[in-house]
Amino acid sequence: MDAFSTFTLLFFLILLLPAAPTHQQQQQQPPFSCGAQSSTTTSLPFCNTKLPITQRAKDLVSRLTLDEKISQLVNTAPAVPRLGIPAYEWWSEALHGVGWVGKGIHFNGTISKATSFPQVILTAASFDAYQWYRIGQVIGKEARALYNGGQASGLTFWAPNINIFRDPRWGRGQETPGEDPLVTGKYAVSYVRGVQGDSFHGGKLTGHLQASACCKHFTAYDLDNWKGVNRFVFDARVTKQDLADTYQPPFQSCVEEGKASGIMCAYNRVNGVPSCADYNLLSKTARGQWGFHGYITSDCDAVSIIHDAQGYAKQPEDAVADVLKAGMDLDCGLYLQQHSKSAVEQGKLPVSQIDRALHNLFSLRMRLGLFNGDPKEQLFGNIGPDQVCSQEHQMLALEAARNGIVLLKNSARLLPLRKSQVKSLAVIGPNANSGQTLLGNYAGPPCKLVTPLQGLQGYVKDTTYLQGCDSVRCSSAEVDRAVELAKGVDHVVLVMGLDQSVEREELDRVDLVLPGRQQELVTKVARAAKNPVVLVLLSGGPVDVSFAKYDKKIGSILWGGYPGEAGGTALAEIIFGDHNPGGRLPVTWYPQEFVNVPMTDMRMRPESSSSYPGRTYRFYKGHSVFEFGHGLSFSKYSYELKHVSQDKLFLNQSTSTQQAAIDESGSVRSTLVSSVGADFCEQSKFQARVRVENHGEMAGKHPVLLFARQSRHGDGRPRKQLVGFKSVVLSAGEKAEVEFEVSPCEHFSRANEDGELMMEEGTHFLSVGGDKFPISLVL
């Protein structure tokens, strides 16, 4: 059975689970150590909560035998009864809600469901960092409730996925916040702080964690299975320049600002070295440069493939030694359990490396309060089942769907439809009544589900539904029947797109158009309908719908991503004008001809000599179906850069002369950011204020995106890059000012070929909408 079939079966089985717990489930207690049940060990130092966690963890590790130590290096860690250490499961998932994927969560007791938010790519389209934080808070709280209720054997959740959505064909792009490093980094920080129980602004309330978040997949991982190349053997060839300004910044933000307690290293190799065996990546960069103080896990079976598939390690013991010496701590799999002892016996692995890993693992479990005795007396011990699927949480899921949905086209202001004027409605399409499609991958059992059909039926009593295709793949279509239906109703809503049978983990796409006969069905229904039709697209990745963009009979196009449990309600509210859409695309929508670009080419920058077009809005030179940041509203918004507190910046020559240089063109002075000093970078920050006005007749929430660009182009410079984003809620006719902090060292710099950030002399522009403001940088 493939992953999609498994998902389908388990999804419907979960929905049928009884809510009432059995007597055994009612008696089940969450595993905590050092309490009354562990009376023989409560006097030992590792149970003394007054001691520093580092000292407690060191004491615990010192009491383990070698066999016991090795048993703890894998995701399903067994109990050590003689020390009162309970079993622990490290693998749980919470990508956009607590999920059933993994081994740590069990929806078979009092709690049978959890709030299911939109898939991450749609959540990102809101460009609202505080909303991302609130979603993380809910996920962390519901995770702790499951643990407190005895329905979880772990509190470590392997999310968020913060890889850059580099290629539109990537099946897991739906899991990410999109293609922009700044957005992805801000999402990581917000989500991690929410899950772990920190404040939005980063100040920790305590040293304890509500739950543990894990940023993945470190690093340059964005290919699963494309034309015979799979993630297990793929060697991502990445320049230092692209690593510095694209692939690594989200992970750096996740560690330095988000204070993530976990990192997952990826399957793939980067420039020949497996990520999980890369000392420079795990120890020098993450732990050394960024100050990471958590645990590092492999992706599942990523250690085994270093020997078994990649052939990087000559023997299994070499693979074990490589990853532990590199700084990895935990194996999602069995390889460390099977081969660590022989690696020690052969002299390839010092026990000190095992101790180092265990120190990180037990420190994390202690930060979660799992060695602090009675959970009821702990900070998060009173979070109970009544806080799962609460009305507040379900409303946030609806709000997230509303704010993420993107209006791509609205010719002649077709939307919103007026309920009083729509007497009959046809809803057609394979995604119109599929609750499963709403959720995307890595989902849990939702609190409730409202499909697009159900949402629209709440507005129009006379609603007729036709699936139209045998499946999303649409090898067979009821075109004639759909055409006849369209002729007899006032309006038609077509709900088309993709699902997990087309894009998911282990399944990358080979093209960018609608599957099978979907385009034919849409075009012929639109041609037959009385009025221009509404096209709703559910998908994680971009789809080339150029045919619909330029078809006058297709009046409106809505992208709904995978909008979660309340997606049908949110779509219907937008279609009938009870919500003003404000989402903006977090990823470029490429044309079908982009499939001629090899997915294995990791370069971000274009190359004219080979016709390579580059990737993402920052570098891509080709035609776009819809650009990054595109999104319409029922209102019209205008922008004006009202005030910029700096129009010229001078660098201190005395501190930068040694690093000043002439770039490749021989005419532009540049200075390494590292040479100007932290004081200059801090003091050179300035404020930019943007006035935003709602000229429409509806209130709306609107994301404001501020970009920076240089007057010069080419030579590896980004075409433009995002400086900041903020959402503002404006009533009809209302104005407001939004303030951004601009850091020249960050926003006016670019990476050189050695991966070092540098600033160039000349004119830089801040731009929002069509308005721009020049800033002179003088070296």
Q: How confident is the model at residue 36 (pLDDT cuts 50, 70, 90)?
A: confident
- Closest CA relative to residue 449, chosen from 387, 497, 401, 498: 401
- 475: exposed, middle or buried (C-beta count within 10 Å: 0-12, 13-18, 19+)? exposed
Q: Does residue 49 have a pLDDT over 80?
A: yes
Q: Does residue 268 have a pLDDT over 50?
A: yes
Two structure tokens written together for 71: 């048993």
Q: Does residue 497 have a pLDDT over 90?
A: yes
Give the separation between CA 558 and CA 625, rounded to whole angstroms: 14
* For residues 261-282, average pLDDT: 98
Task: Give 338-380 pLDDT, tens digit per residue.
Answer: 999 999 999 999 999 999 999 999 999 999 999 998 877 788 9
As annotated, the active-site residues are 299
Give the separation between CA 374 and CA 355, rounded to whole angstroms: 27
Task: Give 61-96 pLDDT, tens digit per residue.
Answer: 999 999 999 999 999 999 999 999 999 999 999 999
Q: Is the Cβ–Cβ distance between 406 and 559 less than 8 Å? A: yes
Please name the helix (run of DSSP H) or strand (run of DSSP E) that holds residue 704, with its range, or none. Answer: strand 700-710
Three-state helix/strand/coil letters over 458-513: CCCCCEEEECCECCCCCCCECHHHHHHHHHCCCEEEEEEECCCCCCECCECCCCCC
How many CA atoms, within 13 angstroms, populate the side-chain half-sphere of residue 460? Answer: 27
Taking the model in full, what pTM does it have? 0.94
Share of the chain above pLDDT 70, in %: 93
Q: Does residue 713 have a pLDDT over 90?
A: no
The 8-class DSSP code of residue 412 comes to G
- Closest CA relative to residue 292, chosen from 301, 283, 279: 283
Q: Does residue 38 have a pLDDT over 70?
A: no
Q: Does residue 118 have a pLDDT over 60?
A: yes
Task: Give 603-625 pLDDT, tens digit per residue.
Answer: 999 998 889 999 999 999 999 99
- Residue that the structure tokens 């990823």 belong to: 587
How many CA atoms, within 13 angstroms, populate the side-chain half-sphere of residue 639? Answer: 21
Domains and CATH numbers, the chain: 3-55+70-100+111-219+235-264+276-299+350-387 (3.20.20.300), 404-610 (3.40.50.1700), 635-778 (2.60.40.10)
The 8-class DSSP code of residue 410 comes to E
DSSP for 294-324?
SEEEEPTTHHHHHHHTS--SSSHHHHHHHHH
For 48-70, give one letter per residue: b (16+ CB within 10 A) or e. Answer: eeeeebeebbbbbbeebeeebbb
Pairing of strands 491-497, 425-428: parallel
Two structure tokens written together for 652: 């201190």
pLDDT reported for residue 3: 41
Pairing of strands 235-236, 262-265: unpaired
Task: Give 672-708 pLDDT, tens digit per residue.
Answer: 999 988 898 999 999 999 999 999 999 999 999 999 9
The 8-class DSSP code of residue 698 comes to S
Please name the helix (run of DSSP H) or strand (run of DSSP E) that holds residue 408, with its range, or none. Answer: strand 406-410
Give the separation between CA 142 and CA 25, rounded to whole angstroms: 18
pLDDT reported for residue 362: 98
Q: Which of 21-25, 485-489, 651-655, 754-758 is predicted least confidently?
A: 21-25
- Closest CA relative to residue 589, chosen from 636, 526, 518, 540: 540
Give the separation between CA 354 and CA 531, rounded to whole angstroms: 68
